[in-house]
């Protein structure tokens, strides 16, 4: 396997619910840019979101970003995990607090299912905290598994967790 591949558009979901959430997310986007992991980054607005799964925790702040990379999906995953660690991410049970969470939602039109990485992200189409910010920046991106746009996925999503635009 090589470390690079053709240039692909990638769509990522970022979230945090501990510490200075807005600064963490902004700094993470800047780190993705400065390290050359992603180029031509477009970021969504900030959205405050009700926690999914475990409700007894602080609200999350989420964004979606679109960018372009020549990295392979697995190398991009390693870069994202490294960045999470740099921002102090601790290992916790599923759906618990996070200093920083970065998920690869789409990697071009790739469909990948390995023990370490599944693309498109297997839960993304069922999560408002992913789809609402994603639809802001890439409403016409077509899910390669389902063949419908992110906007349509957002409109059909049955997730009842509240997602609120955070203007300050």
Segment (H or E) for 44: none
- 127 as an active site residue: the answer is no
- 101 as an active site residue: the answer is yes
Catalytic residue among 22, 27, 33, 103: 103
> CA-to-CA distance for 83 and 49, rounded, in angstroms?
22
Catalytic residue among 89, 143, 154, 159: 89
Distance between first and last Cα of the chain:
44
> CA-to-CA distance for 54 and 71, rounded, in angstroms?
34
Catalytic residue among 101, 127, 143, 154: 101
CA angle 96, 165, 97 (to 5 degrees): 10
> CA-to-CA distance for 148 and 151, rounded, in angstroms?
8
- 155 as an active site residue: the answer is no
Contact between 83 and 1 (Cβ < 8 Å): no
Catalytic residue among 21, 98, 127, 154: 98
DSSP conformational letter for 126: G
- 27 as an active site residue: the answer is no
| Active site (catalytic) residues | 89, 98, 101, 103
């Amino acid at each position: 396997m090589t470390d690079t591949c053709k240039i692909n558009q990638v769509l990522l979901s970022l979230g945090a619910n501990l510490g200075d959430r807005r600064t963490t997310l902004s700094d993470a986007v800047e780190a993705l840019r400065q390290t050359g992991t992603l180029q031509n980054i477009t970021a969504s607005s900030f959205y405050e979101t009700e926690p999914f799964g475990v409700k007894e925790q602080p609200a999350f702040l989420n964004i979606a970003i679109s960018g372009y990379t020549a990295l392979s999906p697995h190398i991009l995953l390693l870069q994202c995990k490294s960045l999470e660690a740099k921002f102090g991410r601790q290992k916790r049970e599923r759906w618990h607090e996070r200093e920083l969470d970065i998920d690869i939602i789409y990697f071009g039109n790739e469909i990948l299912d390995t023990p370490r990485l599944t693309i498109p992200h297997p839960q993304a189409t069922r999560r408002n905290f992913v789809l609402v910010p994603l639809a802001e920046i890439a409403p016409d991106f077509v899910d390669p598994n389902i063949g419908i746009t992110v906007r349509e996925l957002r409109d059909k999503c049955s997730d009842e967790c509240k997602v609120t635009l955070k203007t300050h």
